[in-house]
Amino acid sequence: MWVLDTAYRNGVDLWCRDKSGAVTRTHHAYDPPFYLHLPDPAAHHEMIDVLAEHFRAEPCTFRTIFGELEGFSVHGDRRIAEQIEQQTQFEARFFNVDVRRDHRFMAEQGIFPCGDDPGSRFRPDFSYDLRQMEIRIHDNPARSQVCTDIELVGDRTERLQGPGGTVIEDFFGLVESTDPDVILMSDADIWLPKLKAFSQDKGFDLPFSRSGKYRSMGSRSYWSYGRMEHREAALIPDGRVLIDTDQSFVYREGGLAGVFMAARLSGLSPNMASRFTPGTLISSYEVYEAVTRGIVVPFRKADPETVRKLANLRAADRGGMMFQPVPGMYENVDELDFTSMYPSIIVKFNLSPETLDNPAQEGFLPAVLEPVISLRKETKKKKIADPRYAGIDTMLKWMLVTCFGYTGYKNAKFGRIEVHEAITGRSREILIQTKDLAESMGFVVLHGIVDCLWVQGAPVETLQERIGTETGLIAEVEHFNWIVFLPLNDGFGAYNRYYGRLSDGSVKVRGIAARRHDTPDYIRTMQQEMLEVMRTAKTAGELALVRDRVRQIYCTALRDLPHADPRTLAVSRRISRTRYAHRCLEGAAVNAYRDAGVEVAPGMKIRYIVRDAHRYQVDPEWSAGAFDIAYYRGLMEKAWDEIAYAFCRNGQGMNKRKTQKELYVPGTDPGPEPVCQD
């Protein structure tokens, strides 16, 4: 059966699509137990008797990744588990308490969403002949309670404009008559609660659910990889996939194919998979695999970090290895990139919580990650010839990236900080080994960061082969005709700010204005136009010939700045708090949103235009008129400096590593600064 959606309501509802295209619901009675382990059951015999009487508690044996445990199966929910936890003064250990019941049911039955062939789950080729509708709402969801301008794209395109009641009634009618399986809707999670409230007030039926029922997800702000994130509250319809095309990270990165692949691997419905982070997806995948293998999932981890001497801790916990580059331009550079390095290390060295003290035991994490790594290698090759695989490959990349982080996450179901440290320790050894190998073969190492190394020399294919033989890991190669490593303010090389021309004629950029999310569109476009001209140059000599054309783009953009559309100057920021102790532009923007009646929460993205930087006056994007020309000129100058650095010293010394004395230092030998008339 091709599962489109799942839900749990006193049993598991599966919405399945048959070969004729019809979607039907089947209900399965399901009341699974959680598992309880007590160090001394005799000390809690009265509690066990009560659990047996009211919650069908029975003695049993269950398997963890560390081995078998004796305990009890209890047919209760999380509330009962937490009461037992308190009564036993946290001596009790629990398993399978917080595993989603529809998720667990599918794992036990060996079925998964978005597929009907168990053997195809780890294959990149799968079909989904689904009726799709795209809904573009052109009203601002932060300021409007009702839609007045909606565009629907399906078999044909419809544009609905006018009074809210009329537009919504027609809109609902089109959704019902089309009966799509998948709806791609802009800001769906913000609009649906508003549409529901409007429908109840006007007596309309909200048409998105095939059963008329909706599941709720609460909004929340949370820290993820060092920054605050925010997830909007959502209404999840039954029997139909509804994806928020603006809010869903999974959809933005992987498209619909990426969402479906995430659902197939994680065992979550596409509705859930599209709303979760890659970290939650890889964690759900591990849970699904554990249940499939008959392994119970811990409720709270009982393997805290062991006590260690400070010297041992400092030796182990050092993170990834980096080699700082010397800033400058270099020709004929090859980037060696280890494919999925950290998860590959987990598999190669059998790193898992239960194998730290027993290396000969087959590890759970290596066993479940190996097929995902193999799938990623396949999609990475296939996407070169067929872009249809790009979304799937991107989603797999994110899931594998986060699987490493989850090994050190305090609440990870199958994580342990010592595993995290062992992975980074192995990665440091491999990068140093690779560097030494390259230099022994006559290559010059220019830069290195965690899982990448930039070298000059030939033939790089020989080096690539030696790396694979001696490390056991696959390193892919990208050739740069030329590459620019940018400096920090102190003149030393930045680790993650560079750009260069690849041998296929494209430009790869990292860390510069064109790549950063907070760069205004006006400035991003300016820098992208510069890079588009620069990519026509295959050598440093040819690059010097396009300098004046590149400089003219900057001059033209600077001249036209006073006449720019204010909306193209919006700064996009993800706020980390809603109260600020000191005056700043971000705090002023939060206040401007609040004054406009828009609720803000940590982790939300806001967009604002700076009206007066000195007075910290900003306007929300939708109400901006005037803007601070001097402030935006400053941003443009920074973007220009990143490009102008490529032309410093007229390309001298590009084929060798520059000494610190030859570096461009602000204020000395600034290169071809443009003289532009306003």
Q: What is the CATH number of the domain that holds 146?
A: 3.30.420
Residue 437 lies in a domain: yes
In this predicted structure, the answer to whether residue 572 has a pLDDT above a threshold of 50 is yes
- Poorest-pLDDT segment among 111-120, 329-338, 555-564: 111-120
The pLDDT confidence band at residue 650, using thresholds 50, 70 and 90, is very low
In this predicted structure, the answer to whether residue 402 has a pLDDT above a threshold of 70 is yes
State mean pLDDT over 9-28: 94
Same domain flag for 83 and 150: no
In this predicted structure, the answer to whether residue 66 has a pLDDT above a threshold of 80 is yes
In this predicted structure, the answer to whether residue 74 has a pLDDT above a threshold of 50 is yes
Q: What value, to the nearest 5°, has the Cα angle with vertex 613 and ends 608 and 616?
A: 75
Same domain flag for 409 and 501: yes
What is the residue-wise DSSP string for 184-198? EETTHHHHHHHHHHH
Residue 428 lies in a domain: yes
Comparing 184 with 316, the larger pLDDT belongs to: 184
Same domain flag for 91 and 120: no
Q: What is the pLDDT of residues 228-286, one digit of tens each?
A: 777 888 999 999 999 999 989 999 999 999 999 999 999 999 999 999 999 899 999 99
Sign of the alpha-carbon dihedral angle for 118, 123, 129, 132: positive
What's the mean per-residue pLDDT of the chain? 90
Same domain flag for 71 and 190: no
Same domain flag for 87 and 202: no
Instruction: Give residue 636's pLDDT.
Output: 97
Instruction: Give residue 659's pLDDT.
Output: 32
- Give the whole-number percent of the chain exceeding pLDDT 70: 92
Q: What is the pLDDT of residues 115-145, one digit of tens each?
A: 988 889 999 999 888 999 999 999 988 888 8
Same domain flag for 331 and 426: yes
Instruction: Give residue 660's pLDDT.
Output: 32
SS3 330: strand
Same domain flag for 245 and 141: yes
Residue 504 lies in a domain: yes
The pLDDT confidence band at residue 416, using thresholds 50, 70 and 90, is confident
Instruction: Give residue 536's pLDDT.
Output: 96
Q: What are phi and psi of 380, to 5 degrees?
A: -65, -35
Instruction: Give residue 13's pLDDT.
Output: 97
Same domain flag for 421 and 499: yes
Instruction: Give residue 305's pLDDT.
Output: 57
In this predicted structure, the answer to whether residue 653 has a pLDDT above a threshold of 50 is no
| Domain boundary residue, one of 95, 123, 138 | 95
Residue 418 lies in a domain: yes
In this predicted structure, the answer to whether residue 670 has a pLDDT above a threshold of 70 is no
The pLDDT confidence band at residue 321, using thresholds 50, 70 and 90, is confident
- The answer to whether the predicted template modeling score (pTM) of the entire model surpasses 0.85 is yes
The pLDDT confidence band at residue 581, using thresholds 50, 70 and 90, is confident
CATH number of the domain at 428, please: 3.90.1600.10
Residue 410 lies in a domain: yes
Same domain flag for 331 and 401: yes
Query: Element (H or E) spanning 260, and its range?
Result: helix 249-266
| Domain boundary residue, one of 238, 266, 287 | 287
The number of distinct structural domains making up the chain is 3
Tokens at 368, concatenated? 């479940």
Same domain flag for 121 and 91: no
Return d(Cα 329, Cα 118) in angstroms, integer: 51
Instruction: Give residue 301's pLDDT.
Output: 72
Return d(Cα 526, Cα 545) in angstroms, integer: 19
Comparing 615 with 318, the larger pLDDT belongs to: 615
Q: What are phi and psi of 77, to 5 degrees?
A: -110, -170
Range of the domain at 360: 322-511
